[in-house]
């Protein structure tokens, strides 16, 4: 919950900056713009994804969490690193005082990622290696993403670690972040989450293997392109052609696998989180279609493709599942101890599906309009879409707080004490407390 | 290839003293040489053990001895039994639990409904009774709650991986 809470605050902050004019069509490279972009990608999406992995990889691997004591330091380093990086970017706009923050950000982020990896990687190695293979690839991409980001940070500060990397490395940095780390991690987690929420069997070995191989190949080529850029200073066209073909192919294979899970579901009417995940998947398909023009033409095509992937695909998926996950975990936390001892409500009684639908549609609409505005270079329309996104994020944030406070529940059904909204409550029940009322 | 002679283990004295023989059986299994069988003598037919040993890659054959005790021979199916036995966290003595007095088919139910059904069913059961439940997946959120309530559990996926089989012994 603390990861999700921090991520949501960064989301609101980044959208506020964007609404204030930090970014716009073909206007992303000012310091304040880069700060806004990184508050969104690193603060919101990356922290939410790390929090989700730390929470769910033990569940998916059916193993107890490894070194849970590292979670808080990892989160604090992640928050610190994000704030330092965002503040540090202002140095590009001439704020000399914040150069130190710029230099310390990669160090803090290395600590955050390293601690998170220490919690996640041992679980990936024991059993779930075949189930969560995409998450392993995603963590490789995260390491490369950090390295390329750190190289650019020090490069901008005048410390030339990898001279060729700027500005040519920017495209690879973006690819590693959007397609490599965030999308692959989302792929890996979504199979199991979708199967769980749709009551569908997992499996589908052939398609899943195809996704894994194609994704591994794509990531390998991106890394190869990065190395060639360092050594020769240029990425050969043949590599770009391969990526142009592979990126949509990976997405098509993944969508086919999700469609297979969807067809085999035993739950006739999927809940809101899954309906909105379908919209997110449509945005993923759109981003894949834009990938080719983005790689070759850059400019507004690249802006639109990246925006659609970050806002429409990754953020909508995260927001839709976050509502479901927060309500489920809150239910477990509050009502699992009461089962059989007191009447317990249903999980969906903790939520307000109408409010959730309202805010998620606003988010989806904002994403679609924003992408279009970038493609057509319409700054005013883009600004309006950001306003819609901010409003939707505020609404969803309020809805999540309401779920944590059990506000949608009939007051008589609410227990006397509620868990803290964000931080985990210390578990007061000892393992020897076997009190039963029966 | 010479097949080594079976390892003999008589758990009757241990059971007579009221001790759980599970640890002794498992260390005997671990101590088996490649291809070696385990010959177990028990005062009753240890049916729950058959499943556990099958999961570890042993075939079993049993016969009743003239004095009423049972002799079971577990023969390894191949030199490398699969590592999949019971899920981590399972109670080690599960093979000696009584037969389930109640079964729940919880396939196709949306979480946390299976958890609610199981915990409610356990409230009506006497201590020591065993509940069997068939689930779509491993109920990771149920396990801590079972521990808090003093119940023991043992479970694993069916060999085809589509269902999860869970036994719960009601706590005292």
Q: Which of B88, B141, B162 sits opposite A63 (nearest CB)?
A: B88
SS3 content of chain A, % helix, strand, coil (to 5): 80, 0, 20
User: Distance between CA atoms of B172 and B167, rounded to whole angstroms?
Assistant: 16
Is there a shared CATH topology between the B7-76 domain and the B92-169 domain?
yes
**Chain A residues in contact with B122 (beta carbon < 8 A):** 340
Kindly tell me if the per-residue pLDDT of B73 is higher than 90: no
Q: Are residues A5 and A19 in the same domain?
A: yes
Q: Are residues A118 and A175 in the same domain?
A: no
Single residue among A233, A268, A303 that ends a domain in this structure: A268
Q: What is the pLDDT of residue B84?
A: 43
- The third-level CATH classification (topology) of the domain covering B92-169 is Translation Initiation Factor IF3 (3.30.110)
| Chain B residue with minimum CA distance to A428 | B148
Asked whether residue A427 is assigned to any structural domain, the reply reads no
Q: What does the block give as tokens for A279? A: 């919209």
- Determine the distance in angstroms separating the CA of B162 from the nearest CA of chain A, rounded to an integer: 7
| Chain A residue with minimum CA distance to B135 | A199
Query: The whole model's pTM is what?
Result: 0.81
User: Distance between CA atoms of A324 and A322, rounded to whole angstroms?
Assistant: 5
**Chain B residues in contact with A433 (beta carbon < 8 A):** 148
ipTM of the complex: 0.74
Q: Are residues A249 and A311 in the same domain?
A: no
Asked whether residue A150 is assigned to any structural domain, the reply reads no
Q: How far does CA A64 lie from the centroid of its chain?
A: 23
Residues 6+ apart with CB under 8 A from A289: A248
State pLDDT tens for residues A296-312: 998 999 999 999 999 99
Can you tell me the mean pLDDT for B56-60?
Answer: 74
pLDDT category at A426 given cuts 50, 70, 90 is: very low
Single residue among A234, A268, A302 that ends a domain in this structure: A268
Query: What is the strand order of the sheet B152-157 is part of?
Result: B102-105, B130-135, B164-169, B152-157
**Chain A residues in contact with B117 (beta carbon < 8 A):** none
Task: Name residue, tokens 């989700």.
Answer: A52
Q: Are residues A190 and A299 in the same domain?
A: no
Count of structural domains, chain A? 3
Least confident of A22-26, A355-359, B80-84: B80-84
Asked whether residue A238 is assigned to any structural domain, the reply reads yes
Q: Are residues A122 and A6 in the same domain?
A: yes
State pLDDT tens for residues A251-277: 999 999 999 989 888 777 788 888 999
Q: Are residues A264 and A136 in the same domain?
A: yes
Could you name the CATH architecture of B7-76?
2-Layer Sandwich (3.30)
Contact assignment for B108 to A199 by CB distance below 8 Å: yes
Least confident of A343-347, A433-437, B46-50, B81-85: A433-437
Q: Are residues A300 and A204 in the same domain?
A: no
Contact assignment for B148 to A337 by CB distance below 8 Å: yes
Can you tell me the mean pLDDT for B18-41?
Answer: 84
What is the helix (H) or strand (E) element at residue B134, kind and residue range?
strand B130-135
Q: Which of B120, B137, B147 sits opposite A340 (nearest CB)?
A: B120
Q: What is the pLDDT of residue B67?
A: 87
Q: Are residues A120 and A137 in the same domain?
A: no
Q: Are residues A258 and A365 in the same domain?
A: no
Asked whether residue A435 is assigned to any structural domain, the reply reads no
State pLDDT tens for residues A276-290: 999 999 999 999 999
Kindly tell me if the per-residue pLDDT of A430 is higher than 80: no
User: Distance between CA atoms of A262 and A199, rounded to whole angstroms?
Assistant: 9
Asked whether residue A147 is assigned to any structural domain, the reply reads no
State pLDDT tens for residues A174-205: 999 999 999 999 999 898 888 888 888 776 67
Domain containing A6 equals: 1-129
Nearest 5°: phi and psi at B96? -100, 10
Domain boundaries, chain B: 7-76, 92-169
Which residues in chain A (187-206) have CB-CB distances under 8 A to chain B? 196, 199, 201-203
Can you tell me the mean pLDDT for B138-161?
Answer: 84
Kindly report the average pLDDT of chain A as a whole number. Answer: 88
């Amino acid at each position: 919950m603390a990861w999700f809470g921090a991520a949501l605050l960064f989301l609101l902050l980044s959208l506020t900056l964007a609404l204030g004019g930090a970014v716009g069509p073909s206007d992303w490279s000012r310091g304040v713009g880069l700060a806004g972009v990184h508050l969104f990608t690193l603060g919101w999406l990356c922290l939410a994804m790390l929090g989700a992995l730390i929470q769910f990889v033990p569940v998916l691997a059916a193993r107890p969490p490894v070194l849970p004591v590292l979670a808080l330091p990892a989160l604090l380093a992640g928050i610190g690193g994000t704030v330092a990086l965002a503040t540090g970017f202002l140095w590009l706009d001439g704020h000399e005082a914040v150069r130190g923050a710029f230099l310390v950000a990669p160090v803090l982020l290395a600590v955050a990622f390293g601690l998170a990896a220490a919690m996640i990687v041992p679980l990936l190695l024991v059993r779930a290696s075949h189930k969560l293979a995409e998450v392993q690839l995603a963590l490789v991409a995260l390491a490369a993403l950090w390295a390329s980001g750190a190289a650019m940070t020090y490069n901008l500060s005048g410390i030339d670690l990898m001279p060729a990397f700027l500005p040519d490395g920017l495209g690879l940095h973006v690819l590693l972040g959007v397609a490599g780390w965030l999308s692959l991690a989302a792929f890996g987690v979504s199979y199991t989450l979708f199967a769980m929420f749709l009551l569908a069997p997992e499996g589908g070995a052939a398609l899943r293997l195809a996704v894994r191989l194609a994704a591994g190949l794509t990531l390998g080529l991106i890394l190869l392109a990065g190395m060639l850029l360092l050594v020769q200073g240029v990425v050969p066209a043949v590599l770009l052609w391969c990526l142009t073909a592979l990126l949509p192919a990976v997405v098509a294979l993944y969508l086919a696998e999700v469609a297979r899970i969807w067809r085999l579901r035993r739950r006739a009417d999927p809940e809101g989180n899954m309906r909105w995940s379908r919209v997110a998947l449509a945005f993923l398909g759109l981003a894949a279609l834009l990938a080719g023009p983005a790689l070759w033409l850059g400019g507004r095509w690249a802006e639109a493709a990246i925006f659609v992937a970050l806002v429409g695909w990754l953020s909508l998926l995260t927001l839709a599942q976050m509502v479901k996950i927060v309500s489920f975990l809150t239910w477990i936390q509050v009502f699992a101890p009461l089962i059989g001892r007191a009447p317990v409500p249903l999980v969906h009684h903790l939520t307000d599906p109408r409010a959730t639908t309202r805010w998620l549609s606003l988010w989806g609409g904002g994403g679609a309009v924003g992408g279009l505005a970038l493609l057509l270079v319409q700054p005013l329309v883009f600004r309006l879409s950001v306003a819609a996104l901010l409003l939707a994020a505020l609404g969803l944030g309020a809805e999540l707080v309401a779920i944590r406070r059990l506000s949608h529940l009939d007051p008589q059904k609410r227990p006397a004490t509620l868990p803290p909204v964000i931080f985990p409550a210390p578990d007061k029940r000892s393992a020897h407390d076997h009190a039963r009322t029966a | 290839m010479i097949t080594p002679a079976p390892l003999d283990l008589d758990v009757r004295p241990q059971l007579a003293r009221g001790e759980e023989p599970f640890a002794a059986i498992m260390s005997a299994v671990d101590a088996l040489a490649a291809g070696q069988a385990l010959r177990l003598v028990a005062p009753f037919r240890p049916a729950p053990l058959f499943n556990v040993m099958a999961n570890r890659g042993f075939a079993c054959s049993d016969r009743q001895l003239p004095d009423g005790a049972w002799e079971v021979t577990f023969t390894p199916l191949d030199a490398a039994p699969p590592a999949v036995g019971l899920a981590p966290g399972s109670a080690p003595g599960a093979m000696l639990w009584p037969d389930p007095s109640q079964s729940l088919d919880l396939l196709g139910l949306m979480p946390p409904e299976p958890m609610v059904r199981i915990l409610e069913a356990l409230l009506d059961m006497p201590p020591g009774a065993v509940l069997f439940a068939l689930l779509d997946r491993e109920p990771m959120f149920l396990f801590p709650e079972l521990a808090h309530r003093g119940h023991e559990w043992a479970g694993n996926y069916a060999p085809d991986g589509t269902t999860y089989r869970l036994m719960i012994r009601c706590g005292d």
